[in-house]
Structures are given as structure tokens and as C-alpha cells.
Amino acid sequence: MSEVVERIAIVGLGLIGSSIARGARTYGLARTIVAIDRDPAVIERVRALGLAETATCDPVEGVRDADLVILCVPVGAIGAVAEAIAPHLKPGAVVSDVGSVKAAVVAAVAPHLSDANTFVPAHPVAGTEYSGPDSGFATLFSNRWCILTPPEGAEASAVERVRSLWQGLGAIVETMTPEHHDLVLAITSHVPHLIAYNIVGTAADLEEVTQSEVIKFSAGGFRDFTRIAASDPTMWRDIFLTNRDAVLEMLGRFNEDLSALSRAIRWGDGEALHELFTRTRTIRRGIVAMGQETAEADFGRARGGAPSGSVRSESALPDVAVGTSRHGAGS
Ligand SMILES: NC(=O)C1=CN([C@@H]2O[C@H](COP(=O)(O)OP(=O)(O)OC[C@H]3O[C@@H](n4cnc5c(N)ncnc54)[C@H](O)[C@@H]3O)[C@@H](O)[C@H]2O)C=CC1
Ligand SMILES: O=C(O)C(=O)Cc1ccc(O)cc1
């Protein structure tokens, strides 16, 4: 892969920022990598790990002369960082982010940038429950989706620069509006995390079951929930506070469907339970089959880890339409 930019500045060298730095180095996507983090301990680790040519706590110094600046801090901090760096950006520099929520980030960043800089929001749909500079790895984005939500009329060359970076990191790029992104991610990522936090909290509060029993008998499903519930508290607090409307919309539907399931159990309606479980099994098999399809399509790629172009697959993300319920209105 050839260089995408001369100089990339990454603000926030945690799981995502350090993975971008490692990938940019491994795949030769930037001549110079600048790491910026407000935490001196993180900057020290970045230096020890050799993740960047320059590492600094000073965002003003860090973004100077950068062609591409990627904001990799928690969603609630992105606006303040944009405000701090905006007057110091090189004219023509492209700004992007990796936040898990898009509409609130666009609203927080856009007012600070001048016409000389284009903001191209991005969200790599890839991660783990770990945080910090030691948790990143170069192949994190390989064969995973990255959603761009460029504003209408955004400069094409700026969008292309960000698209090229993500393709260079091995991601498959999809474009949509920030509002649609937030609705889709509310049901596919945000509500599932909330359910995990909740079920682990419920288990921890049980009086008839001891903590040691919860740990001892954590088999299967509950164990998977504990992995997700170990995700970073600051990051997830910010996600729920900034994607409030979409999360509440999806939670409303979830609660309705859960009530219907409770009723089916109470009244011994095995047919309703069996029908749902059969449908959900089909969905899981579809997801697995699609994963294999993508992996097979990528098998013959020239360089391990990166697809050669953008792949559009409408079926890969659910078509979220508001206004209908699985059980129908009023059921
Ligand atoms: N963790 C995950 O699985 C994924 C996270 N994201 C998004 O990526 C972003 C970063 O998440 P992670 O890398 O997981 O977080 P992290 O907690 O591993 O790293 C965040 C870094 O940002 C730094 N930071 C915080 N505020 C700052 C500020 N004002 N100025 C400079 N540095 C600051 C922290 O010191 C820390 O080093 C978030 O917006 C999150 O929504 C997106 C996809 C997946
Ligand atoms: O670890 C997991 O299961 C995740 O779901 C990771 C993740 C967290 C946040 C995102 O915006 C995207 C991916």
C-alpha cells in the first residue's frame, strides 16, 4: 500500500488510536506519525513502544503541519479537542474521528472548524473490551466495517483521504448519514452493551446467590456478557449520553418485545418461544455465512489484511425502520 498522507496526527493513543498508529506504520500509510495524548503516562508508553515519530501532550504542537488529524478520544471529549486544535490546523488539513456516535460528534466539531479544513467523521466498527496504548494491534480493523458519515457537499478529496486510510488499514468502507448510523449502532452495539452492563449488575445484586457462585457458575451466555460489561466506563457513559434518543427508541422496542416474551413464558406459549428462537437462529446463521463470504472474497488479496477497494453490501447492516414492532402495535 502506498502512502495516504505525509503526516498523520492521532489524538488519543488508547485501543483505537494506538491500533491506527500500529497499522499506519505496518502498512506504510504515513511518512510521519504524531501521537498526542493528554495523559503523560500514555505518551511515555507510546515512546517506549515506538508507536510514533513524535509523541506529545500538547495538541497545538502536535497537529501543526499534519495533513490528517484523527480524534480518538471518548465521544464526550471530541468537541473540546476540536476547539483546541482548530486555530492551529494547516490549511487543507482533513480532520476525522473514530467516535461510536456520529450526530452528536458532528454537532460538537463542525462549529469549530473553518472552511480551510474538512471534517470527515468515521467509525470503525471494530474493537475489544480493553483500553490503553498497550491493547492496540495493527490488524484490529482488518476485514471490519468502517462507516463514514461525510456531510453533504464535503470535499471529495478529503473523503477520499479518509477512505484510503481505512482501506489501507484493511477495513471495508460504507457511507451513510450520521442519524442513520446512530440508529443502526443503537440496536447493534449500544443496547447490547447496556443489556450486558445490566445483567451483570443484576447478578451482582442478587441476595440469594453469592458473588462466588456467580463467578463459579459463569458458563456460556453470562460469561460472554461479563466480557462486554468490562468495557471502558468513560467511553460507554459518553456513548449513552450522546446517542440518547436512538438508544431510548430501541430500548422502548426491546422492552415491549421482552414483555411479550415474559407473557409467553407465563402462559406456557411454547409456540411463540419456538417461533422466535427459530427466527433468531436463522439471523445468526446469516451473519456467520456473510462473515465467511467476506473472508473468502478477501482470501486472494495481494497483501494480508487489506481489501483492495471499497465494498458496498446493503445486507451487511440491518435496515432499521422506526414505527413497527415485532409483535405489532398494541400486542
Ligand atoms: N473501544 C472500542 O472498542 C471502540 C472505540 N471506539 C471509539 O474510539 C474512541 C476511543 O476509544 P478507545 O481507544 O477505546 O479509548 P481508550 O480509553 O483506550 O483511549 C482514549 C485515549 O484518549 C485520551 N484522551 C482522553 N481525553 C483526551 C483529551 N481531551 N485530549 C487528549 N487525549 C485524551 C486518553 O488519555 C486515552 O489515552 C471513542 O470515541 C470510542 O467511542 C470506536 C470503535 C471501537
Ligand atoms: O468488544 C466488543 O464486543 C465491541 O463491541 C467493540 C466495539 C465497541 C464500540 C464500538 O463502537 C465498536 C466496537
Query: What is the ipTM, given to two decimal places?
Result: 0.99
7 Cβ neighbours under 8 A, 6+ residues apart: 30, 31, 32, 34, 65, 66, 67, 68
Residue 264 confidence (pLDDT): 98
Q: Any alpha helices (H) in 68-189, and if so which ranges?
A: 78-85, 103-109, 156-168, 178-185
With a cut of 60, say whether residue 228 has pLDDT above it: yes
Residue 299 confidence (pLDDT): 32
Residue nearest to atom 6 of ligand 2 (CA): 127
In the chain, what is the straight-line distance between the N-terminal and C-terminal CA atoms, in Å?
Answer: 55
What long-range pairs does 254-257 form, CB within 8 A, spacing at least 24?
Answer: 254/191, 254/195, 256/325, 256/327, 257/325, 257/326, 257/327
The domains of the chain, with CATH numbers, are: 5-176 (3.40.50.720), 181-300 (1.10.3660.10)
pTM as predicted: 0.90
Range scoring the smallest mean pLDDT among 25-34, 90-99, 141-150, 212-221: 212-221
For the CA of 128, the closest atom of ligand 2 is 1
Three-state SS at 145: strand
Q: Which three cell numbers stand for residue 90?
A: 494547516
Q: Which three cell numbers stand for residue 57?
A: 501532550
**What rounded mean pLDDT belongs to the chain?**
89
294 — pLDDT class (breaks 50, 70, 90): low
With a cut of 90, say whether residue 306 has pLDDT above it: no
Q: Which three cell numbers stand for residue 227?
A: 466480557
Q: By the 8 A CB rule, do 254 and 190 touch?
A: no
Check residues 79 and 221 and name the one with the higher pLDDT. 79
Identity at 254, one-letter amino acid code: F
Residue nearest to atom 8 of ligand 2 (CA): 127
Tens digit of each residue's pLDDT (9 = 90 or more) over 143-154: 999 999 999 999
Q: Which three cell numbers stand for residue 46?
A: 507510546
CA–CA dist 16, 72 (Å, integer): 7
292 — pLDDT class (breaks 50, 70, 90): low
Q: Strands (DSSP E) along 37-167, which ranges?
A: 54-56, 68-71, 94-97, 118-120, 122-124, 145-148
Residue 1 confidence (pLDDT): 66
In the chain, pLDDT over 70 holds for what percent of residues? 88
Kindly list the distances between the CA atom of residue 193 and the CA atoms of 6, 11, 38, 188, in Å, as whole numbers in the listed order: 37, 25, 27, 9
For the CA of 124, the closest atom of ligand 2 is 12
Range scoring the smallest mean pLDDT among 42-46, 82-86, 249-253, 288-292: 288-292
Residue 323 confidence (pLDDT): 38
307 — pLDDT class (breaks 50, 70, 90): very low
Pairing relationship of beta strands 122-124 and 30-36 according to DSSP bridges: unpaired
32 Cβ neighbours under 8 A, 6+ residues apart: 6, 7, 8, 53, 54
Residue 205 confidence (pLDDT): 87
> What mean pLDDT do residues 175-180 have?
98
Check residues 312 and 2 and name the one with the higher pLDDT. 2
Three-state SS at 121: coil
For the CA of 78, the closest atom of ligand 1 is 29
Residue 210 confidence (pLDDT): 79
Pocket test for ligand 1, best of 15, 18, 232 (most atoms within 8 A of CB): 15
217 — pLDDT class (breaks 50, 70, 90): confident
Q: How many Å lie between the centroid of ligand 2 and the Cα of residue 202?
A: 22
Q: How many Å lie between the centroid of ligand 1 and the Cα of residue 16?
A: 7
